[in-house]
């Protein structure tokens, strides 16, 4: 019996015992996704493929949810090697292998649907688990993205959370109050939450005009004081993008705006330093106006 070389995922030891492949072929022609679960060597490594592999070894009745389920449904919240997020029935033991992030619980049947050997959370359930099983800043960022992509109906999710009394629901309500699908990236959302927690209510995607002429949109803005806060992702290092950014910032400065640039290293390595810089910019603009 030969194994189809383009089979997406399979349990390696079972294939060897069945005579489908040799141990040598398993080592040389296939790659492991989890301990004991393989795919062919040329397969593109994606998070969805990892979820398929996880489904082979997950307890019956398990539900893939959170960032993993959102990624399967088209919103790329999980990177290829991120843990597969899964709710395992309370009477079952979760997989003991690395690469899983699991919770014990019961998911109502209407909150999931069949997917490979397990079940996949519905969009509403995905939203609930994103809100209740993560920090507020990460939850806001993920729900911003899922709402912007049309995966989650924000009004439906709010109505659902309003009547719940489960663990994490207080955190979920706090996060929901901060969700804004205008945000265009996960770090931008996390930056907005960081500022909000320090009493700085920045508005996402503010349009800036000078004498009626559109200059551009800033990631986060304080229009009253003409302060913009921009997240500098790696894509801004591209020469063409860098030049375009410079032209736009020169126009912003000419229009009386002050721009605070924030890198990933600053956002995640020195968050209070970021807050201090934004406060300094706001104070400076207030002083110049007065």
β-pairing, 258-263 with 100-104? unpaired
Residues 6+ apart with CB under 8 A from 111: 63, 121, 122, 124, 125
pLDDT confidence of residue 3: 45
Local confidence band at 275 (pLDDT 50, 70, 90 cut-offs): very high
Percent share of the chain, pLDDT over 90: 79
Q: How far is CA 250 from the centre of its chain?
A: 32
CATH class in words for 186-289 = alpha beta
Strand pairing category for 30-34 and 37-40: antiparallel
The alpha-carbon radius of gyration of the chain (Å, integer) is 23
Tens-place pLDDT, residues 30-73: 999 999 999 999 899 999 999 999 999 999 999 999 999 999 99
pLDDT (tens digit per residue) in 127-144: 999 999 999 999 999 999
Nearest-5° Cα angle at 193, 72 to 66:
20
**pLDDT (0 to 100) of residue 239:** 62
CB 167 within 8 A of CB 132: yes
The pLDDT value given to residue 8: 85
Q: With cut-offs at 50, 70 and 90, classify the pLDDT of residue 1.
A: very low
| Beta carbons within 10 angstroms of residue 122's beta carbon | 19
Using CA atoms, how far residue 72 sits from 47, 126, 271, in Å, is 8, 11, 31
Structure confidence at residue 242 (pLDDT) = 66
Are the C-beta atoms of residues 144 and 189 closer than 8 Å to each other? Answer: yes
**Beta carbons of 67 and 77 less than 8 angstroms apart:** yes
Crossing angle of the two packed helices 186-197 and 271-289, in degrees rounded to 10? 70
* Mean pLDDT, rounded, for 113-124: 96
- The whole-chain average pLDDT of the chain stands at 91
Compute the Cα dihedral for 38, 41, 44, 45 and give only its sign.
Answer: positive
Q: How far apart are CA 13 and CA 223, in angstroms?
A: 62
Q: pLDDT at residue 6 above 80?
A: no
Higher pLDDT residue, 5 or 213? 213
Nearest to residue 50, comparing CAs of 114, 118, 4? 118
Residue 75: per-residue pLDDT: 97
233 vs 108: which has the higher pLDDT? 108
Find the mean pLDDT for residues 90-102: 91
The predicted pLDDT at position 243 comes to: 72
Q: Where in the chain is the domain with CATH 3.40.960.10?
A: 186-289
Contact 237/244 with Cβ under 8 angstroms? no
Q: Quick one: pLDDT at residue 288?
A: 81
Tokens of 204: 């996402």
pLDDT above 80 for 233: no
């Amino acid at each position: 019996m030969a194994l189809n070389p383009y089979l997406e995922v399979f349990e390696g030891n079972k294939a060897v015992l069945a005579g489908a492949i040799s141990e040598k072929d398993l080592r040389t022609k296939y790659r492991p996704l989890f301990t004991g679960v393989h795919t062919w060597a040329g397969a593109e490594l994606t998070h969805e493929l990892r979820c398929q592999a996880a489904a082979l070894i997950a307890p019956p009745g398990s539900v893939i949810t959170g960032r993993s389920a959102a990624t399967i449904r088209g919103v790329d919240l999980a990177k290829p090697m991120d843990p597969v997020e899964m709710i395992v029935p309370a009477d079952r033991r979760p997989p003991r292998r690395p690469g899983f992030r699991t919770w014990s619980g019961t998911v109502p049947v209407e909150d999931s649907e069949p997917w490979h050997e397990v079940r996949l959370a519905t969009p509403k359930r995905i939203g609930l688990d994103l809100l209740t099983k993560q920090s507020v800043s990460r939850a806001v960022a993920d729900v911003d993205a899922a709402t912007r992509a049309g995966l989650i109906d924000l009004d439906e999710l709010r109505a659902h959370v309003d009547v719940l009394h489960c663990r994490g629901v207080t955190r979920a309500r706090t996060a929901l109050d901060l969700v804004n699908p205008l945000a265009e990236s996960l770090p931008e959302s996390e930056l907005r939450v960081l500022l909000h927690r320090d009493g700085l209510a920045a508005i996402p995607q503010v349009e800036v005009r000078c004498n009626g002429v559109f200059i551009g949109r800033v990631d986060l803005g304080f229009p009253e004081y003409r302060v913009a806060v921009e997240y500098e992702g790696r894509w801004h290092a591209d020469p063409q993008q860098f030049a375009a950014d410079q032209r736009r910032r020169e126009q912003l400065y000419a229009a009386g705006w002050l721009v605070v640039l924030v890198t990933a290293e600053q956002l995640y390595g020195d968050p209070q330093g970021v807050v201090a810089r934004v406060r300094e910019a706001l104070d400076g603009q207030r002083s110049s106006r007065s």
